[in-house]
Amino acid sequence: TRVCCKRARETMVIGMLGRCLRRFSTTVTQHVELIGKPETKEFRVFLKTAAGVRLSPWHDLPLALTAPGARDPVFTFVNEIPKGTYPKMEVNKEEPHNPLKQDLKKGELRSFKYGAMPFNYGCFPRTWENPEHKHPDTGFMGDGDPLDVVEIGETPIIMGDTVPVKVLGVLGLVDGGETDWKVVGIRKNHQRAAEFNDITDV
C-alpha cells in the first residue's frame, strides 16, 4: 500500500463529502440482527428499524446529520469492525439490504494477522469511490467501495452500530492500484470531541 499523506483541513473533507449528500437527518435509529455464527462464511449482520424492517447501511441511512453548510457538520458512521477485534468485516455490496459480512480472499475468511484493529473502522453511507474517476491527488481510480472511516475514540463500538461523527481529516491511500480514501473522525458524543477540530489536533 502506498500512502499519499494529506494533512487536510476539515473544510476540504466536508467539501468532498458534500458532493455525496442527498438528504440530512437529525437522528440515526436502527437495531442490529445477527444471522449465523461469527467467523463463518454464513455470518451476517443486518440493520433493522424498530418495526423489524431491514435497512441497507449503504443506501437507507442518511449521510449528513446536520443541514448542508452547518458550522459544525456531523455525519453517520457505520461501524464494520469494532476496535480490538480481528475479523475483517465489511458491507456486502451484492446482497439485498447490504448486510455486514466477513471478507473473503481466495475463498478464505480474512482476519487481521498483525494484531487487533486499533480503532473502530467502518464507512459512510451514500458514498462511493468511483472506479471510473481518476483522482488528481492520487493519480488512480476509485476502488468501487463506500468511503472508509476510522473512528479514533478509545472504546469499541458495536459491530453494525451507527454513530454520529465529526470529521477531522482524510488520508489518500493507493491500494492495489486503486484510490482508497480513509476519513479520520471522532464520535460526536466523545467527552473530548470539542478539543479536536483538525487532524493536527490528534
Q: Within 13 Å of residue 123, how many CA atoms lie on the same side as its CB?
A: 25
Global pTM reads 0.85
Segment 187-194 shows an average pLDDT of 93
H helices within the chain, ranges in order?
Answer: 10-18
The stretch 102-108 carries a mean pLDDT of 96
- Assigned C-alpha cell, 125: 453511507
Mean pLDDT of the chain: 87
Query: SS3 for 199?
Result: helix
Q: Is the pLDDT of residue 19 over 90?
A: no
Average of pLDDT values for 112-119? 94
> What average pLDDT does this structure show over 75-95?
97
Does residue 10 have a pLDDT over 60? Answer: no
Cα(168)–Cα(132) distance, integer angstroms: 27
User: 17-21, 140-144, 171-175, 193-197: which has the minimum mean pLDDT?
Assistant: 17-21
pLDDT for residue 202 is more than 90: no
Reply yes or no on whether the pLDDT at 32 is more than 80: yes
| pLDDT, tens digit (0-9, with 9 covering 90-100), for 130-189 | 999 999 999 999 999 999 999 999 999 999 999 999 999 999 999 999 999 999 999 999
CA distance 196 to 202: 7
- Is the pLDDT reported for residue 1 higher than 60? no
d(CA 50, CA 63) in angstroms, rounded, equals 20
21: CB partners within 8 A, 6+ apart? 63, 64, 68, 126
Q: What is residue 30's predicted lDDT score, i.e. its pLDDT? A: 67
pLDDT of residue 72: 82
Contact 13, 73 (CB under 8 A): no
Q: What percent of the chain has pLDDT over 70?
A: 85
User: Residues 48-73: pLDDT tens digits?
Assistant: 998 899 999 999 999 999 888 888 88
Give pLDDT, residue 68. Answer: 83
Residue 67 confidence (pLDDT): 85
Q: Dihedral, CA atoms, 19, 23, 26, 32, nearest 10 degrees?
A: -90
pLDDT attached to residue 77: 97
3-state secondary structure of 194: helix
